[in-house]
Amino acid sequence: MFTKSLPPQPSIFVSYFRVGRLLYLSLILFVLESWLYWEALYRAYHEAYFLWGLFWGWCFMFSFVHIYLVLMDGWSRYQNYKRAKDQFFMYGFNERIAETYISSKCQRMAAEVAAEELGIKEELKNYYRSRGVRWFHYIPYFMLRDPVFLFKKSFWSRTFLEKNYKSKFNFHTIQLESSI
């Protein structure tokens, strides 16, 4: 069990948005992009430009679908965050736990937010640095190793369909008790 006193714990909403901050920035871009593509599609449709309509329609659908994928990815990363926070709380910093979240930037961010809220972020960052992870490693490692990842069930379930994880601990209560 975790032996340090806990730093002040942020609200659930703050943690949720900190975990997926890159995803939610891209969400804003996809919404804007969808709106621009919709406008172009609307003009092409009303001016009867069939081929341009097909092109802008495809662009719009690509961007619009990504809005939902980003939202689902953000939800999945929040589940990773809750699980990582429980694991780090129960076992302290552990390389095996850290290794579970190393494969993508978003998963690492979820683990880093969990570790920061427990006061062990530097240990986690040092471990990732020792494993060769750098700040600019945005593309998930599995995408580089396996170019047909889109056709694998594990990609879809781990990236967008992570099961709901119920935290085992109420960290706000624990933090209040540890500060007394």
Which is it for the CA torsion 147, 156, 85, 90, positive or negative?
Answer: negative
Q: How far apart are CA 13 and CA 15, in angstroms?
A: 5
**pLDDT given for residue 59 in this prediction:** 97
Residue 5: pLDDT above 80?
no
Residue 79: pLDDT above 70?
yes
Q: Residue 180: which pLDDT band, with cuts at 50, 70 and 90? A: low
Do residues 118 and 85 make contact, with C-beta atoms less than 8 angstroms apart?
A: yes
Least confident of 62-71, 94-103, 168-177: 168-177
48: left (phi over 0), alpha (psi -120 to 50) or beta: left
- Cα 69 from chain centroid (whole Å): 11
Q: How far apart are CA 159 and CA 55, in angstroms?
A: 28
Q: How far apart are CA 82 and CA 76, in angstroms?
A: 10
Q: Residue 26: which pLDDT band, with cuts at 50, 70 and 90? A: very high
Q: Name the one residue in this structure whose structure tokens are 């679908």.
A: 65
**pLDDT given for residue 147 in this prediction:** 83
**pLDDT given for residue 177 in this prediction:** 79
Do residues 160 and 73 make contact, with C-beta atoms less than 8 angstroms apart?
A: yes
**pLDDT given for residue 44 in this prediction:** 94
Do residues 48 and 155 make contact, with C-beta atoms less than 8 angstroms apart?
A: no
pTM over 0.85, yes/no: yes
Selection from 117, 115, 82 nearest residue 98 by Cα: 115
User: Domain coordinates of the chain in residue numbers?
Assistant: 12-179
Q: Residue 155: which pLDDT band, with cuts at 50, 70 and 90? A: confident
**pLDDT given for residue 133 in this prediction:** 94
Which residue type occupies 77? R
CA dist 28 to 17, 35, 75, 168, Å?
A: 13, 11, 16, 33
- 82-132 pLDDT per residue, tens: 999 999 999 999 999 999 999 999 999 999 999 999 999 999 999 999 999
Coil/strand/helix, residue 159: helix
